[in-house]
């Protein structure tokens, strides 16, 4: 699998009262991050989400997953894979 270059948090998610009333959205879009989570919970693939929301870049979605994983590992560092 090809490794994507790291991107900064502000390139992934933004919260701005002027954009969707401050709901966390993918940067540069009006697509709430929660929609990706809803797609995944419903059993849809990342590819299907990206096809439905072409303004969201794959790198943003993957970086979001990395952020979530890192946050989870900070909560329980012993869970880090070797």
The answer as to whether 2 is a domain residue is: no
Q: What are residue 26's DSSP bridge partners?
A: 13
Instruction: Please check whether residue 32 is in contact with residue 7, taking contact to mean a CB–CB distance below 8 angstroms.
Output: no
36 — pLDDT class (breaks 50, 70, 90): very high
Which tens digits make up the pLDDT trace of 39-48? 999 999 999 9
Q: What is the CATH number of the domain that holds 67?
A: 1.10.10.10
Beta strand extents in 1-82 (DSSP E only) = 13-14, 25-26
Range of the domain at 53: 9-79
Q: What's phi and psi for 7, nearest 5 deg? A: -125, 155
Q: Is the pLDDT of residue 4 over 70?
A: no
High-pLDDT (> 90) share of the chain, % = 67
**Do residues 60 and 33 make contact, with C-beta atoms less than 8 angstroms apart?**
no
């Amino acid at each position: 699998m090809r490794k994507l270059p790291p991107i900064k948090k502000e390139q992934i998610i933004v919260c701005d009262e002027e954009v969707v009333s401050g709901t966390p959205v993918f940067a540069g879009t009006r697509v709430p991050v929660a929609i990706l989570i809803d797609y995944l919970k419903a059993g849809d693939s990342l590819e299907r989400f990206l096809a439905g929301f072409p303004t969201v870049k794959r790198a943003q979605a993957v970086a979001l997953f990395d952020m979530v994983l890192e946050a989870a590992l900070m909560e329980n560092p012993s869970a880090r894979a070797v």
